[in-house]
Amino acid sequence: MSAITVRNLRVVLPGSKAAVVDGVSFSIAAGKCLGIVGESGAGKTITGRSLIGLTPAGARVTAEELTVAGVDARDLTEPAWRRLRGARVALVSQDALVSLDPLRRVGAEVAEPLAVHEPGLGRADRSRRVLQLLGQVAVPEPAFRARQYPHELSGGLRQRALIASALAASPAALIADEPTTALDVTVQAQIVLLLRQLKESGIALLLISHDLAIIRKLADDIAVMKDGRFVELQPTAALFAAPQHPYTRELLASISQSLVPAPPKAAPVVLAARDLTKTYGPASAPLRAVNGVSFELRAGHTVGIVGESGSGKSTVARMLLGTETPDSGDVLLNGEPWSRVPESRRRARRGGIQIIHQDSLSAFDPRASVLQILSEAIALDGSRSVRRERREQATRLLELVALNDSLLGRRAHQLSGGQRQRVAIARALARQPRLLVCDEPVSALDAPIQTQVLGLLVSLQQTTGLAMVFISHDLAAVRALSHDILVMKNGIVVEQGPAVELFLAPQHPFTRELLAAQATA
* Mean pLDDT of the region 270-276: 96
Residue 123 lies in a domain: no
Which pLDDT score is estimated for 48? Answer: 95
pLDDT band at 141 (very low <50, low <70, confident <90, very high): very high
- How far is 221 from 205, CA to CA, in rounded Å? 11
239 domain residue, yes or no: yes
Q: Are residues 311 and 459 in the same domain?
A: yes
Average confidence (pLDDT) over 279-307: 91
Bridge pairing between strands 328-333 and 269-280? antiparallel
pLDDT, mean of residues 346-368: 84
Q: In terms of pLDDT, which residue wins out, 95 or 198? A: 198
Domain region containing 372? 269-520
Q: Is residue 201 situated within a structural domain? A: no
pTM score, two decimals?
0.65
Give the model's pLDDT for residue 256.
45
Q: Give percent of the chain above pLDDT 90.
A: 49
Which DSSP helix (H) or strand (E) runs through 303?
Answer: strand 302-307
Q: Using 50, 70 and 90 to split pLDDT, how confident is the model at 230?
A: very high
Are residue 224 and residue 345 in the same domain, yes or no?
no
Confidence of residue 254 (pLDDT cuts 50, 70, 90): low
- At residue 382, the pLDDT reads 63
252 conformational bin, left if phi > 0, alpha if psi -120 to 50, beta if neither: alpha
Structure confidence at residue 259 (pLDDT): 59
Within a domain: 212: no
Same domain, 224 and 329: no
Mean pLDDT, residues 178-186 taken together: 73
Identify whether 75 is part of a domain. Answer: yes
Using DSSP's 3-state secondary structure scheme, residue 174 falls into: strand
> CA-to-CA distance for 100 and 350, rounded, in angstroms?
31
Q: Do 274 and 391 fall within a single domain?
A: yes
| Range among 155-164, 286-295, 348-357, 421-430 rated most confident | 286-295
Please give the sequence-ordered ranges of beta strands (E in DSSP) within 117-245, or none if there are none: 173-177, 204-208, 221-226, 229-235
Answer whether residue 502 is part of any domain. Answer: yes
Whether 444 has a pLDDT exceeding 70, the answer reads: no
**Model confidence pLDDT, tens digit, residues 17-60:** 889 999 999 999 999 999 999 887 889 999 999 999 999 888 99
pLDDT reading at 521 higher than 60: no
Whether residue 427 is contained in a domain is answered as: yes
Q: How far is CA 34 from CA 69, 223, 248, in A?
A: 15, 7, 16
Evaluate whether residue 65 is within a structural domain: yes
**8 Å CB contact between 225 and 44:** yes
pLDDT of residue 385: 60
Instruction: Mark residue 247 as left, alpha or beta (left: phi above 0; alpha: psi -120 to 50; beta: remaining).
Output: alpha
Instruction: Determine what percent of the chain is predicted with pLDDT higher than 70.
Output: 94
pLDDT tens digits, one per residue of 464-478 = 888 999 998 888 888
- Answer yes or no: do 318 and 369 share one domain: yes
Of 226, 253, 280, which marks where a domain is finished? Answer: 253
| Pairwise pLDDT comparison (454 vs 443), residue with the higher score | 454
Q: What angle do CA 45, 360, 304 make, to 5 degrees?
A: 115
Q: Compute the radius of gyration of the chain from its Cα atoms.
A: 23
**What local confidence, expressed as pLDDT, does residue 333 receive?**
94
Q: Which amino acid is at 176?
A: A
d(CA 68, CA 27) in angstroms, rounded, equals 10
- What CATH number has the domain bearing residue 231? 3.40.50.300
Please report, for residues 281, 297, 397, the alpha-carbon distance to residue 380 in angstroms, rounded to integers and kept in the order given: 35, 25, 15
**220 pLDDT higher than 80:** yes
Residues 437 and 495 in one domain: yes
Sorting pLDDT into bands at 50, 70 and 90, what band is 384? Answer: low
Which has the higher per-residue pLDDT, 261 or 131? 131
> 345-370 in b/e burial notation, b at 16+ Cβ within 10 A?
ebeeebbebbbbbbbbbebbeeeebb
Domain shared by 233 and 354, yes or no: no
Shared domain for 379 and 244, answered yes or no, is no
Are 390 and 277 in the same domain? Answer: yes
Residue 459 φ/ψ, nearest 5 degrees:
-65, -45
Q: How many domains does the chain have?
A: 2
pLDDT of 158: 85
Q: How much is the mean pLDDT over the chain?
A: 87
Per residue in 118-128, pLDDT (tens digit) is: 888 888 999 99
Answer yes or no: is pLDDT of 335 > 70: yes
Q: Shortest CA distance to 159 belongs to which of 90, 85, 95, 91?
A: 95
- The identity of residue 265, as a single letter, is K
Question: How many of the other CB atoms lie within 10 Å of CB of 382?
Answer: 8
User: Is 331 in the same domain as 281?
Assistant: yes
Mean pLDDT for the stretch of residues 189-212: 87
Does 84 share its domain with 225? yes
Note whether 337 and 407 are same-domain residues.
yes
